[in-house]
Amino acid sequence: MSKPLEPTLDALPNPFLRYFAATRPAFLAVTFVGCLLGLASAAFSGIAVGPALATATVFFALVAHAGANVINDYYDSLSGCDGANAERQFPFTGGSRFIQNGVLSSRATGIFGYSLLAAVVPAGLWLTAASGPELMLIGLAGLVAGWSYSAPPLKLQSRGLGEFAVTAGWLLVVIGSDFVQRRGFALLPVVAGLGYALLVANVLYINQFPDVKADAGAGKNTLVVRLGVARARWGYAAIAALAYGWPFSMALLGYLPVAALIALLPAAASFAAARQLWLRAGQPAELTSALRLTILAASTHGLLLAIVLSVSRS
């Protein structure tokens, strides 16, 4: 299978499509699934999901994720890690390549990223007025998690804390989507969303393996850089075990319906990815299948759990 072509200015002459593609839209699916899981959590509790609020929640969550993607590209360009990444596995690792290939300037990318994050603020205020003031805390925490993942002074990924930021960020997507419908906090979205958020964190974690040399050279001390490739392989299996162990235990304890155990089926994809990573962690060109399987596992788990919650009642 041939690799996808990296973006070029000639291939993206339309400014709208150029900026849209810079958000890495294919990877926004994990936020879409997280929103569905939050809406399904509310539905499971017997709450009638309002279409208008649900649509607005999903749309602006996607805008926030898009902004975080663009901001990540901007700061990874400034650090030099994307420019020096000769072992990247596009489109999964090494950034969007928009700055490196001259499609957008670094300045335009930074302005665009911060503009997307700023656009979420008035929408968040409107959703807060429609649901409850606590939503402001959820939204602010989510924006901080997305921004601080790569931006100074926190640069959480460079401190080996990126996985914590990602887990918190996508758990907040589930909690926030539920909150807008429920108009209050509940334990259920945490119960339903933590396993999913951990699987999303594993997507970011495995993406660090092909990038490890470039990241280390740029002083971006990710968890994989800190642990070293050989030891870091255990981290993938540990995160996956926690991700599937959480909903399994929640179903056994009665916090999730027994039917939710069907959402454990994607563990087969995670296991296959873990095996490939174990055998080829130091061979970036051989990890593409494992990267795909990790994304598949996260998205499928979230979708299956959302479906189960939508058709069940507490």
Closest CA to 111 of 22, 12, 10, 31: 22
pLDDT digits (tens, 9 = 90+) for 11-64: 999 999 999 999 999 999 999 999 999 999 999 999 999 999 999 999 999 999
Domain spans in the chain, listed from the N-terminal domain onward: 15-311
Closest CA to 59 of 120, 142, 136: 120
pLDDT at 314 over 70: no
CA distance 256 to 264: 13
pTM, two decimal places: 0.96
CA distance 301 to 155: 29
pLDDT digits (tens, 9 = 90+) for 110-150: 999 999 999 999 999 999 999 999 999 999 999 999 999 99
